[in-house]
Structure 1
Amino acid sequence: MAVPKRRMSRANTHHRRSQWKADNVALQEVTIDGVAHRIPRRLVKAAQMGLVEVEQF
């Protein structure tokens, strides 16, 4: 793993961190009780089992 040789200035650190952006969660279309919903993939199984309220998405 790369290790910095010297301390990075506060301005450079903030500038580097400000460029990082999180991606939006990819939604998957799922039919539950005859109604199509778009929910995150990690919640599909829980939604099909009725453990998660689908209306909040």
Structure 2
Amino acid sequence: MPNPKRRHSKARRDRRRTHDSLDVMSSSTCPNCGTAKMPHRVCPSCGFYRGKQSVRVQQTV
């Protein structure tokens, strides 16, 4: 199998890796309870989605 003849520089390696980083996940506030949730998802704390109860959530006290 062929092997590289010369070593790649750090700049070339880093330019290749520029797109490998993770993006920050966006979040929105739930209009029902006000907690942070992912957009277009059911709220994990109250179970509401688009103003309607869609999932029953057990309340922890």
Structure number with the bigger relative contact order (C-alpha 8 A, sep ≥ 6) is 1
Query: Which of the pair is proportionally richer in strand?
Result: 1
For this structure pair, what is the TM-score category when the shorter chain's length is used for normalisation? 0.3 to 0.5
- The TM-score with structure 1 as length reference comes to 0.41
In proportion to residue count, which structure has more helix? 1
Q: TM-score, normalised by structure 2?
A: 0.39
